[in-house]
Structure 1
């Protein structure tokens, strides 16, 4: 969920990672067939724009991360404004506008009590409360047993010390590469492309060397941090180090594809993983909160300068011991508002410190927010670069920190 303003009655953008209910009801024991790489039809994303209070009144509950809902949409009817994007071979790249006509929260099998303990089908829309099929719960929990700290450390120890941090201009998404002194990517931190709702923010001249398949650290399982894997299939051949989080259907499909290739390394719990020029840790937010329970990296470049990569984690949840002062910072959550006060924002080591914000011009979430910019400025970040550029100051493009 992203709030679209600071108004007390602010609207918000609710995005759901979906699977077709009729498919789930009809698939039976063959449900997992739909999670294969060659299958795309059952999966979709749905964006609903309304106030939290109105959604709660409409659906009987306001969505929170990791909640399941049964949703019905129609092209033209009475209800809440909605945008529907069906999964295609290159991801969620196109959408159609419609109306959300019905919504109810689903009871998960482990939370249902009494006569509701038997999971109902998703299609039982006439009942005020619906059960989530246990087969779908199982299908969306594909993450294998966490890898050992040694296994992940072995992958990261093979990465040479980076000379620069390349924040790629991908529009409204996050795609950061640590590069060697020749500009070759040696580690990706997130591989995001915009999903269809922000497709207009993607640059027309994006380029990447497809022969480079370095390890990928995924900060968290949000689409604008992983969607590049659908546009750039060579990324599926990389080793992915990922947080152990609850997944929606589309994200679970990607995890299964990577696991079948032997390229999925799930970070073990409570592991602070150090490698020759940095450390990889988990943010300390609630487990249900994907943004604030994701992975972050603090790296030291060959110049001796430090760079902090936060994904969408609020600064108050960072767990790096030496991140109170850094030389370079990729701003959290594309410049969105965050709860931490200015005192929690890492400070620049000196006046040459660089702050970079990765976002797309005229994105639907209205990032970056003035409040976030002010907090960074109050913490000493006087030099702020954005991948979107600033009219009359700089054109859009990649940003490099070294």
Structure 2
């Protein structure tokens, strides 16, 4: 198989991860907003700030195949990003950042990204951003925690090293960032999983949350619901995970797409009674996004 041309993200490291504080003004986490971007991911983490709903962190800003944008201005209208908002990438596959060069707002955000070997196009885009920093490699495999005033928290972890074993032809899914958000409650803590394209069982914070008895409130299906990289450990993790009274599973992909996503039968067999959603279905009602709230 031919080796693709690959280059490394050259942006500087964060001086200090502690300087990233998306929940510093938040009294709590409300949930997530999953945008219809066609084939790809774009998710806003919603928080309560001063009695109002605000976006604390934008996770990914993608959308390539069959995206809903008729003009570049549509990107800003459908997925607004305020100046200096934190925008974090799970990884550098293009369907997770490709809307940013089209609009004008996301380019003014503060970007925190994994250092990866990726496409020359991604490297050129990263070099065009004025405020972009990589998660230092010393944090690989170490969970980073951001906490709101009421104890709700975000967990983030870079799950693989740079340049890693696949430096020449790197699979960015294996060295990206995965997140979970947790709502604290006297009735039992609940989690929403935001894995990017990484399999659930490969994300150490997810495994720990299950063992700690944190109930599963929602899943954004990894890799847009793909059946690849699904293992017996994935089955076991989801089968054993205690569930919140309502469980939502969201597939962020277009209909149709060239990847045969999602392989939703796996999820439906493992999670009977859950609510299953596909972002492409939002267009039936001219909706832009779906909110999954605690």
1:377 to 268, 276, 282: 268
Map residues 329-344 of structure 1 onto 2, 5 A cutoff: 329-338=219-228, 339-341=230-232, 342-344=235-237
Shift of 1:395: 7.4
Match of 2:137 in 1: 268
Match of 1:317 in 2: 202
Match of 1:188 in 2: 58
- Distance in 1 between the 2:61 and 2:223 partners? 14
CA distance 1:396–1:144, change in 2 (3 Å): closer
Which structure would you say has the larger Rg? 1
- Distance in 2 between the 1:211 and 1:280 partners? 22
CA distance 1:345–1:396, change in 2 (3 Å): farther
| SS of structure 2 residue aligned to 1:350 | strand
- Distance in 2 between the 1:210 and 1:310 partners? 22
**Matched positions, count:** 257
| SS of structure 1 residue aligned to 2:107 | helix
- Would you say the 8 A contact 2:67–2:254 is kept in 1? yes
Map residues 148-159 of structure 1 onto 2, 5 A cutoff: 148=15, 151-156=16-21, 158=24
Q: Where does the alignment leave 5 or more consecutive residues of structure 1 unmatched?
A: 1-61, 70-136
Shift of 1:309: 0.3
TM-score (norm: length of structure 1) = 0.57
- Distance in 2 between the 1:374 and 1:330 partners? 15
CA distance 1:228–1:278, change in 2 (3 Å): same
- Distance in 2 between the 1:143 and 1:158 partners? 28
- Distance in 2 between the 1:231 and 1:159 partners? 30
Shift of 1:280: 0.7
Shift of 1:368: 1.0
- Distance in 2 between the 1:368 and 1:247 partners? 24
Q: Deviations over 1:77-127 (max 9, x none)?
A: xxxxxxxxxxxxxxxxxxxxxxxxxxxxxxxxxxxxxxxxxxxxxxxxxxx
Q: Deviations over 1:363-384 (max 9, x none)?
A: 2222112xxx232223325211
Match of 2:128 in 1: 257
- 1:366 is the counterpart of 2:260: yes
Shift of 1:264: 2.2
Shift of 1:184: 2.7
CA distance 1:390–1:238, change in 2 (3 Å): closer
Shift of 1:351: 4.0
CA distance 1:360–1:142, change in 2 (3 Å): closer
| SS of structure 2 residue aligned to 1:170 | coil
Runs of 4+ aligned residues of structure 1 deviating over 4 Å after TM superposition are 203-206, 284-287, 394-397
- Would you say the 8 A contact 1:172–1:224 is kept in 2? yes
- Distance in 1 between the 2:58 and 2:83 partners? 10
Higher-RCO chain (CA-CA 8 Å, sequence separation at least 6) = 2
